[in-house]
Amino acid sequence: MRTNPTQYPVLIAEDNNEDFFSLKRAFKKLKISNPLYRCLDGDDTLDFLYQRGKYTPETAPRPALILLDLNMPGVSGHEILQIIKSLAVFKDIPVIILTSSAREKDIAESYRDGANSYLVKPVNFENFLDAIELLKDYWLSLVVLPQHGSNE
């Protein structure tokens, strides 16, 4: 039996507080009730995924979707994407690049490394809200995401 998509955990790897709070604000305004988990850098993201350090299975559930910034301190978003998509345990988790970089090199490299989508963060909040609404409609409503846990 599939769980309700609004219960799917969403991991946000974002070091910029302003961008994170804009995303939280957008989720609230759009009534996206999925549990949100935030990692501040690449090392923290890996700890969350591996449930190590300060993270346990209770505090770091397997995300159904990852929103990944490319420009983070420590291990970069590109490196995180490569790790996620190279390991069988994580490779089926959809990774959406959500970044300020519109550089063709970053876009091409992200898709080459297995990104499921690439979104450039709009500067204007209304445009950002529109982008997050489309993300919600597709990734958290329309598609069927792999279920992990009870019947693996």
Using DSSP, state whether 15 is helix, strand or coil.
coil
Dihedral angle, C-alpha 136, 137, 141, 147, nearest 10 °: -50
Confidence of residue 152 (pLDDT cuts 50, 70, 90): very low
Is 96 in contact with 119 (CB distance < 8 Å)?
Answer: yes
The region that residue 74 occupies, defined by phi over 0 for left and psi between -120 and 50 for alpha, beta otherwise, is: left
**pLDDT tens readout for residues 38-80:** 999 999 999 999 999 999 999 999 999 999 999 998 899 999 9
In this prediction the pTM is: 0.91
Query: What are 71's two structure tokens?
Result: 């420009």
Name the CATH superfamily, with its identifier, for domain 7-142.
Response regulator (3.40.50.2300)
